[in-house]
Structure 1
Amino acid sequence: MDFRVLGPVEAHKDGARVALSGSKVHTVLATLLLARGRVVSDARLNTLLWGWEPPATSGAQIYTYMSRLRKLLGDEVRIERRQPGYLLQAPHSRFDLLEFERLDKQGREALRRKRFGEAGALLTEALEHWRGTALSNVTEHLADVELPQLEEARMHALESRIEADLALGRHEQLAAELTGLVAQFPLREKLRAQLMTAYYRSGRQSDALQSYYEGRSLLADQLGIDPGEALGSTYEAVLAGSRGPGPGSRIRQPERYEHEDDDVPAMLPPDTEEFIGRQAELAALRAQLADSATGRGPRHLLVTGMAGVGKTALALHAAHTSAARYPGGCLFAEIAQPDGRPKPPAEVLTTLLRGLGEHVGRGGTGGGADGPVELDELVRLYRARTAGRRLLVVLDGAVSSRGLDPLLSGSPDAVVLITSRTRLTQVTGARTTALAPFGDAAAFDLLAASAGRARLLAEPDATDDVLAYCAGLPLALRITGSRLAARPYWPVARLADRLADPETRLRELSFGGSGVTGALMQALRQLPGFDQARTTLIRLAGIGVDSFPAQRAAMYLGTREPVAEQRLEQLVDGALLDICGVDRQGRPLYRFHELVLLLAGLLKDPAHCGQPETTAAR
């Protein structure tokens, strides 16, 4: 039996394709195969087949699908009922994903040993197992969960194959392929460095340098950073003439090249190299983006959560992995100032219009000198330039619904993804993805990504303490991980001891200009009525981390229950307080995050109510 998932899900028996029908049957087979010999629970099958709302007859339907598969696949394949689900065993079958992974691993090992011909052949063979988009005939629920990591594995194999081909002197053949890849992933520095190498070894030094300048400009304009080691070292090598010809290369004289102006915007900041956690939220958001791209889903998507919970990281990762669905391009704009105040809509529109190729500035459209462009004119121009284009627009850091209307394209083909601490109820028809702090497993993985897994495992008790002090907040975890990475000689226990004191913990959760205190203070200052919100927070801090109703809050605040509930909802709007359930009377229950309670302690000191510290966390 031959199973395939790197393209449409298929099963072949004796060289003939087994006649499977319907996305549900393909989904069940793919799920069992991707489990790699492990039991797939009924709950997981329900989610991957029907999403969050399986039918009442889901169990019976799954049983029918399993029976159909047993009949179609024959005795070679055993599908067994094992609590809490099903198990597929096919020891003598061939699975294209396993073949791809085996060849990819062998190819990378050959590349590491500098056996470039062998590496190129193995990686090329690995990539030949791909017959198009993986899992293309399964439900969107399964595709959203499994497709991103499959596509990332394919990309890594492709980059490794290109590296081997460059070492073999095949730079002229690679230039066209890499040009297309860099256009698709303009902020992926490794690909751009490989393109520069191919250009230079083909005698096109000017094109290599032009590619670098374009990449540097993108990084500076969109992120305010310089190129990293891979791109920077390639640039220096090109200038020094040390990115020399590979084996068998043939240098030709540089030639003049016409660069076409690509009108498709690609403004997204770089995606994180290793996206950690949030798999359920990512799957839901990508499913919404997929539906929206076809016109069936909402045009406005919202990612919310407390300061530092990772809203921007999730939104950008979902946007990057969904960008191919938006042939009109991707726009990005930060819509809040560094201090948290909202940017004027005209400033944001100018950024977006420039991404669309319009020369807009204080001098007016077209660079005239008649004065600033009026907001109404910018809105009209923006809506004209986005009309009929299937665009994805990411607006990062919305403070409130006010000022958002001019930024929402009037085109039914454009989808707007917004990050905000509040739910922005006035954004019509918005679908909301709310983020909570990380659980233990994801928190450990995020900390280990910076500090090193082996280092954390060597001091399990101290690591547990650090994780507890960070309370699952990704910003706090990134800061502690960065501090440990910057001080490799520190035991983890040293940082745990520094974080142990609640009175100084927030001060310790600051590094490199980013801090938890600043992020939380920014959220507090964005609320209308800062003094009242500050007083509410200070008085309620005595409740601790236990859940509580408005009735109990009224006792601490010395006011009536309806007034107390209004003040609680104000903190909820600023993501400084969570609604964690309801009591027996159906009244909402509230709960503070541990780090917000520490902020309340600081607020008792008037010195901490001035300008918040600089922070880039949203």
Structure 2
Amino acid sequence: MEFRVLGPVEVRRDGHRAAFSGAKLHTVLAALLVAREEVVSDERLCRLLWGWAPPATVSAQLYTYVSRLRKILGGDVLIDRRPPGYAMCIGNSTLDLSEFEGLARNGREALHRQDFENAGNLLRDALARWNGLPFANATEYLSDAEAPRLMEARAVTLEHRIAADLALGRHEQITGELTGLVAEFPLRERIRSQLMTALCRSGRQADAIHLYHHGRTVLAEELGVNPGEELQATYRALLEGTLDRQPRPVAAVRAGAPAKGSGQGAVFPATLPPDTVDFVGRERELDLLRRALAPDGRSADRPRRVLVTGMAGLGKTALAVHAAHRCQRDFPDGQLYADLRSPDGTPRHPERVLLHLLRALGPARDVPLTADRDHLVRLYRERTAGRHLLIVLDNASGAAQLEPLLPNTPEPAVLVTGRTALPTVAGAHTVALAPLGPRDSLELLAAAAGPDRLARAPGAAAGIVEHCGGLPLALRITGTRIAARPHCTPDRLARRLSDPATRLRELHFGDLDVHTSLLPSWRTLDPQVREVFPVLAALGPPPFPAAAAATRLDLSEAEAERLLEALADAALLEVSGADERGQPCYLFHPLVRLFALSLGEAAAPAAEQPVGRPERNRRLTPRP
């Protein structure tokens, strides 16, 4: 059986098209196919079918569509109900999208090896899988959500195929095709550059010069930008009389390798921080990251963006850096790292981060001294396009900061860490970190303190692990203190940590401090949320529902829940189970609760007063 989505959604059995109709039935089939055996939630299917105005009978209609598909497709295809949605396994059947992606990937690899003949054949075969606009007979909601990504993948594959043809000297054969493509994609600078090259090699230098100036006008009028680096380089080579030679095309040069005659060494950025020598645990999370980041053939033309979230001190950076080092072989063109947070805890401006990344991508002398974000973004995306890079963006604060730093081609993979979910990382795999379990906590403590010192005090070690609440930062601080100070025995430190009133002060060593690591999350809160933070901590360690918070704060339950969700979004509160009414319960990490109670002397008396009456409240201020 053959499935097709690169054009009208179709099912073919023995060469004949299966008879079924209706945009919504085609939409359900296409959504399940594109998911590649992953679960498509009822909520997503609902949006793809009806947008934001679903009918009251959503569940019944979804069940009907899936039942019809099962009947049409028969036993060769399994559509399984897996809450919260459905997943489909097509078995030995074929999907044109998977074939396209596999051929395109192999073609790119052949292009990098400079096997131009084979590359051209593979890329032509990949493009032959297309039969029009993807999802042409599905709903507009599905087309809007999925088609732009596929159309971009097709355009990039087309550029690679043309690069192979140019390298083989077929400029005269493809000039007509390129002329039509420039008219179809007037803003794609690489295609314009390729037509300039073909024209020049065909003895039409004047037409090539006119094409450049026309493109510069189009870019200025449509986008307000100047031509990018590749198009300008083609123009300079045209004026210098070197474009009619047969150098390797830009798309075929291995990313970061020097162009012929450049005299420059290869630029393979490697700016990752050193790996953590004593990294402990997180094997499940590491496996998830490896599988999400490494190209696997099924997602070669889909952006690989992975997000690691969790509260401060959980080891998001250590996990991301460790995973990046383990994945180095999958990214032969280099690994980039940028910390998106300044030393004082404030978010860094995207322009500064872009300049840092551009200098790493090199050559540094070509990085413009400008604060024009649009120009820097365009240059950054040009330099990352087509390169098999891993880009680690650490401590992201929000969508506005992150969006300019994301490449716009599928080859670079991006690993982001942040304390909350970031909608900018569209379609990202999200890995939410939890505190370490007792065994991993003890292993991390032993790695930092030295196993011999802990072996002599197993009871104290267990007490330290309990007081640190599975927070890797706290465990590393206590272990480092034991290792660095012979007089700081595990028994003595366990006794000092046993007092909640002084525990946070003990969790400090050098630049490492639990209280300081939590402050940036607190500072981002709205004033009203800051105000209730210590008051809610006074509710105690057990989980509590919004109703209990509402009583303490003298607010409506809905308003209390809004404040609780704001704290959860800032990774200062966890959602933990539900009460007897099925409403979510909230839980403070033990150290976060102590942090909240330590924010000022006003916290304790304020906790006795209802926050819903501001005139009776005292302003809470953080500890210096």
TM-score class, shorter-chain normalisation, is 0.5 to 0.7
Match of 1:317 among 314, 317, 322: 322
Question: In 2, Cα distance between the equivalents of 1:580 and 1:296?
Answer: 38
Q: Indicate the residue corresponding to 1:134 in structure 2.
A: none
Q: Is the contact between residue 326 and residue 390 of structure 1 (CA under 8 Å) also seen in structure 2?
A: yes
**1:491 deviation in Å?**
2.2
Q: Is the contact between residue 293 and residue 305 of structure 2 (CA under 8 Å) also seen in structure 1?
A: no
Residue 290 (structure 2) pairs with residue 286 (structure 1): yes
Q: Is the contact between residue 288 and residue 298 of structure 1 (CA under 8 Å) also seen in structure 2?
A: no
**1:612 deviation in Å?**
7.2
Question: In 2, Cα distance between the equivalents of 1:603 and 1:385?
Answer: 46
Matches within 5 A, 1:238-249: none
**Alpha-carbon distance change, 564 to 287 in structure 1, aligned in 2, over 3 angstroms:** same
**1:260 deviation in Å?**
6.7
Question: Where in structure 1 are there 5+ consecutive unaligned residues?
Answer: 1-52, 55-258, 614-618
Q: Indicate the residue corresponding to 1:599 in structure 2.
A: 595
Q: Indicate the residue corresponding to 2:561 in structure 1.
A: 565
Q: Indicate the residue corresponding to 2:339 in structure 1.
A: 334
Equivalent AA in structure 1 for residue 318 of structure 2 = A
Equivalent AA in structure 1 for residue 435 of structure 2 = P
Question: In 2, Cα distance between the equivalents of 1:441 and 1:318?
Answer: 21
Q: Indicate the residue corresponding to 1:267 in structure 2.
A: 271
Equivalent AA in structure 2 for residue 440 of structure 1 = P
SS at match of 1:263: coil
Q: Is the contact between residue 387 and residue 411 of structure 2 (CA under 8 Å) also seen in structure 1?
A: yes
Equivalent AA in structure 2 for residue 576 of structure 1 = L
Residue 573 (structure 2) pairs with residue 577 (structure 1): yes
Q: Indicate the residue corresponding to 1:357 in structure 2.
A: 362
Equivalent AA in structure 2 for residue 480 of structure 1 = T
Question: In 2, Cα distance between the equivalents of 1:357 and 1:260?
Answer: 10
Q: Indicate the residue corresponding to 2:515 in structure 1.
A: 517
Question: In 2, Cα distance between the equivalents of 1:297 and 1:481?
Answer: 42
SS at match of 1:559: coil
Question: In 2, Cα distance between the equivalents of 1:575 and 1:548?
Answer: 16
Give deviations 1:322-348, integer Å, cap 9, x for gaps: 111112211110011112211111000
**Alpha-carbon distance change, 548 to 275 in structure 1, aligned in 2, over 3 angstroms:** same
**Alpha-carbon distance change, 611 to 391 in structure 1, aligned in 2, over 3 angstroms:** farther
Matches within 5 A, 1:148-159: none
Give deviations 1:125-172, integer Å, cap 9, x for gaps: xxxxxxxxxxxxxxxxxxxxxxxxxxxxxxxxxxxxxxxxxxxxxxxx
**Alpha-carbon distance change, 393 to 505 in structure 1, aligned in 2, over 3 angstroms:** same
Q: Indicate the residue corresponding to 2:497 in structure 1.
A: 499
Q: Is the contact between residue 307 and residue 425 of structure 2 (CA under 8 Å) also seen in structure 1?
A: no
Q: Indicate the residue corresponding to 1:114 in structure 2.
A: none
Q: Is the contact between residue 355 and residue 367 of structure 2 (CA under 8 Å) also seen in structure 1?
A: no
Q: Is the contact between residue 306 and residue 425 of structure 2 (CA under 8 Å) also seen in structure 1?
A: no
Q: Indicate the residue corresponding to 1:344 in structure 2.
A: 349
Match of 1:398 among 388, 396, 399: 396
Q: Indicate the residue corresponding to 2:470 in structure 1.
A: 472
SS at match of 2:277: coil
Give deviations 1:57-104, integer Å, cap 9, x for gaps: xxxxxxxxxxxxxxxxxxxxxxxxxxxxxxxxxxxxxxxxxxxxxxxx
How many residue pairs match? The answer is 349
Question: In 2, Cα distance between the equivalents of 1:558 and 1:328?
Answer: 58
Q: Indicate the residue corresponding to 1:145 in structure 2.
A: none
SS at match of 2:576: strand
Matches within 5 A, 1:363-402: 365=366, 372-402=370-400
**Alpha-carbon distance change, 316 to 532 in structure 1, aligned in 2, over 3 angstroms:** same
Q: Is the contact between residue 288 and residue 297 of structure 1 (CA under 8 Å) also seen in structure 2?
A: no
Residue 432 (structure 2) pairs with residue 434 (structure 1): yes
SS at match of 2:327: helix
Q: Indicate the residue corresponding to 1:448 in structure 2.
A: 446
Tell me the TM-score normalized by structure 1. 0.54
Q: Is the contact between residue 310 and residue 571 of structure 2 (CA under 8 Å) also seen in structure 1?
A: yes
SS at match of 1:404: helix
**1:296 deviation in Å?**
6.4
Equivalent AA in structure 1 for residue 457 of structure 2 = E
Give deviations 1:228-286, integer Å, cap 9, x for gaps: xxxxxxxxxxxxxxxxxxxxxxxxxxxxxxx9722111111111123201111111111
SS at match of 2:268: coil
Root-mean-square deviation over aligned CA pairs: 2.5
Q: Is the contact between residue 396 and residue 416 of structure 2 (CA under 8 Å) also seen in structure 1?
A: yes
Q: Indicate the residue corresponding to 1:546 in structure 2.
A: 542
**1:582 deviation in Å?**
3.0
Q: Indicate the residue corresponding to 1:407 in structure 2.
A: 405
SS at match of 2:294: helix
Equivalent AA in structure 1 for residue 460 of structure 2 = A
**1:538 deviation in Å?**
1.1
**1:542 deviation in Å?**
2.2
Question: In 2, Cα distance between the equivalents of 1:358 and 1:376?
Answer: 20
Residue 487 (structure 2) pairs with residue 489 (structure 1): yes
Question: In 1, Cα distance between the equivalents of 2:443 and 2:620?
Answer: 34
Tell me the TM-score normalized by structure 2. 0.53
Question: In 1, Cα distance between the equivalents of 2:529 and 2:358?
Answer: 37
Q: Indicate the residue corresponding to 2:179 in structure 1.
A: none
Question: In 1, Cα distance between the equivalents of 2:276 and 2:508?
Answer: 21
Question: In 2, Cα distance between the equivalents of 1:586 and 1:466?
Answer: 35
Question: In 2, Cα distance between the equivalents of 1:441 and 1:520?
Answer: 25
Give deviations 1:179-209, integer Å, cap 9, x for gaps: xxxxxxxxxxxxxxxxxxxxxxxxxxxxxxx
Equivalent AA in structure 2 for residue 289 of structure 1 = L
Equivalent AA in structure 2 for residue 582 of structure 1 = A
Question: In 2, Cα distance between the equivalents of 1:335 and 1:612?
Answer: 25
**1:292 deviation in Å?**
6.6
Give deviations 1:2-35, integer Å, cap 9, x for gaps: xxxxxxxxxxxxxxxxxxxxxxxxxxxxxxxxxx
SS at match of 2:478: helix
Question: Where in structure 2 are there 5+ consecutive unaligned residues?
Answer: 1-81, 84-262, 604-618
SS at match of 1:535: helix
Question: In 2, Cα distance between the equivalents of 1:270 and 1:497?
Answer: 34
Question: In 2, Cα distance between the equivalents of 1:322 and 1:464?
Answer: 34
**Alpha-carbon distance change, 486 to 390 in structure 1, aligned in 2, over 3 angstroms:** same
SS at match of 2:415: strand
Equivalent AA in structure 2 for residue 278 of structure 1 = R
- Aligned-pair identity in percent equals 49
Give deviations 1:271-322, integer Å, cap 9, x for gaps: 1123201111111111111247852665211000010000001011111111
**1:446 deviation in Å?**
0.5
Question: In 2, Cα distance between the equivalents of 1:366 and 1:538?
Answer: 47
Choose 290-299 or 513-522, whichever is displaced more. Answer: 290-299
Give deviations 1:437-484, integer Å, cap 9, x for gaps: 111000000110121112212112211111111111000000000100
Q: Is the contact between residue 309 and residue 473 of structure 1 (CA under 8 Å) also seen in structure 2?
A: yes
